[in-house]
Amino acid sequence: MFTTHSPDNSPLTLEPDSFRDELVRAAHWAADYLQALPGTPVTTPMPDDHRRALSAPALPDDGRPVPEFLDFVASEVAPYPGGNGHPAFFAWITTPPAPAGIIAHLLGATLNASCGYGENALVELERGAVRALAELAGLPAATGGVLTSGGSMANLLCLAAARSWFLRIRGAVDGAAYDEAHARLVCYQSTETHMSVSKSARTIGLPASRIRAVPTTSDQRMDVAALRAAVEADLAAGLLPFCVVSSLGTTSTGAIDPIAEITAVCREFGMWHHGDGAYGGLGATHPALAPHYEGIAELDSLTIDPHKTLNTPIACGAALVTKPARLRETFTVEASYLEGNEEWPWLSDYTVELTRPGDRALAVHAVLHQLGKRGVTALIDGYLTHTEHLRRLVDEIPELELVAAGPWSITCLRYRPAGYDGDVEDLNARIAQEIQRRGAAFVATVRVQGELTLRVSICGHRTTKADIETLVAEILEAGRSVAATR
Ligand SMILES: Cc1ncc(COP(=O)(O)O)c(C=O)c1O
């Protein structure tokens, strides 16, 4: 409960009534903003002088009244959104914020407890959030881990754990033995793997030459025979294959790598198997996707992004490790000023961060509280239903061509009218730009097996059937006008 206590002289004091009034004003603004969003352009180009004004040092000589800040956000910041709050936003995998998650963020900032050290209820909520995500994904009950800022950070933590585990079981934990083994480590991903995996591998010290990109089969899934051949070749060359990263929902097409077959290769050669499920890690909750997740319980670690599939506000990922002690052994560094509790270990021992936000745990709880297990399935079902509708329209409209349609809710397609003899890639790149400029929908491009396509990602709880139809109409209109101006 907020008390009426306020110090005499702090420049940060806001009298309780003013604080309450400002919270109410901000709450009304947030609700009105989100309600009005579907009727506004998805994005609005930001003039360069506005960029310069916003990026100038925000440092007045004298402070200003707090209420002016909301006015500033409303008039100078909100008119230039990233677009992902809008139901007709289909780019990347950036989703609108679930209302329950927004409330959780306000409450999290109010409680302001660190989930890294010390004792507080948010730490336990984070453990519970991690367990809930693990259960939804189909991982064993003993799985542990931490929430992160997103999939990139979760991939980094899991790769670091894989590296520590691999070197530890070889006794190469320090000195010359460590250096000698480290210089031979090799990690494997597919050509479709998200770039954050290479970034993670480089961050833990692997040069690009020891990060293998295994080819995929025609359905964009890792070619397991090619993986095995690469591992055998590296072993024969005296290298140390230590980790394979499979994708549980690739960013480009939503393909799911053959999890069980890759685990079999990992077990045979003593490697760690990490699953990057930033986008698709919760697919096992949906009956149409579940068969692709066979063997998920045997992973050593898994990345999930609640800020993707579950629409929690940015930023929320999760690094899940089926034997959590391996994560802890990787990141525990003793310090006399941080004496933790053995029975309830501090979460900073499982990650690189010491001070950690509690709003992620609250947001995952808030969204799962609203959804329950069935609601998670229903949410994903909505994405898949809209995806099916889109693919049906693409099938029916002669100018549209389906290029890739994985089990998940990403669809790659092209506008290619009959008899068009121009450069189809250039045409589709310009169509994406034209759609973005027009503002009724937003779509980006991706290359599938080297060829540029429009990529439609459906992962937002606000998207409706009508938004899918708007997108298709926009592709056709932009396509016709761009094709005519070549
Ligand atoms: C498969 C995959 N992995 C990792 C990431 C990185 O996640 P984040 O942007 O949350 O860091 C993404 C982002 O789109 C992704 O699609």
- What are 357-368's pLDDT values in tens digits? 999 999 999 999
Task: Give the pLDDT confidence score for residue 372 in this predicted structure.
Answer: 98
Cis previous bond, 315, omega within 30: yes
Q: How confident is the model at residue 335 (pLDDT cuts 50, 70, 90)?
A: confident
Q: Which one, of 404, 403, 413, 409, lies nearest residue 388 by Cα?
A: 409
| Mean pLDDT, rounded, for 159-170 | 98
Range of weakest confidence among 50-54, 336-340, 454-458: 336-340
214: phi then psi, degrees, rounded to nearest 5? -75, 135
Atom of ligand 1 nearest to the CA of 251: 16
- Report the residue among 196, 301, 309 best suited for mutation to probe ligand 1: largest number of ligand atoms under 8 A from its CB: 196
CATH architecture of 15-44+81-99+372-486: Alpha-Beta Complex (3.90)
Tell me where in the chain the CATH 3.90.1150.170 domain(s) lie.
15-44+81-99+372-486
Beta strands across the sheet bearing 301-304: 144-148, 317-321, 301-304, 272-277, 240-247, 185-190, 211-214
Tell me where in the chain the CATH 3.40.640.10 domain(s) lie.
114-357
Is the pLDDT at 353 greater than 80, yes or no?
A: yes
Residue 205 Cα to ligand 1 midpoint, Å, equals: 21
- pTM over 0.75? The answer is yes
Ligand 1 and 276: CB distance under 6 A: yes
How does DSSP classify residue 96? Answer: P
Q: What is the mean pLDDT of the chain?
A: 96
Residue 370 Cα to ligand 1 midpoint, Å, equals: 25
Is the pLDDT at 250 greater than 90, yes or no?
A: yes
Is the pLDDT at 337 greater than 90, yes or no?
A: no
Ligand 1 and 257: CB distance under 6 A: no
| Mean pLDDT, rounded, for 446-468 | 97
Is the pLDDT at 1 greater than 50, yes or no?
A: no
Task: Give the pLDDT confidence score for residue 6 in this predicted structure.
Answer: 61
Rounded Cα distance between 63 and 372, Å, is: 45
Rounded Cα distance between 175 and 184, Å, is: 15
CATH dotted code for 114-357: 3.40.640.10
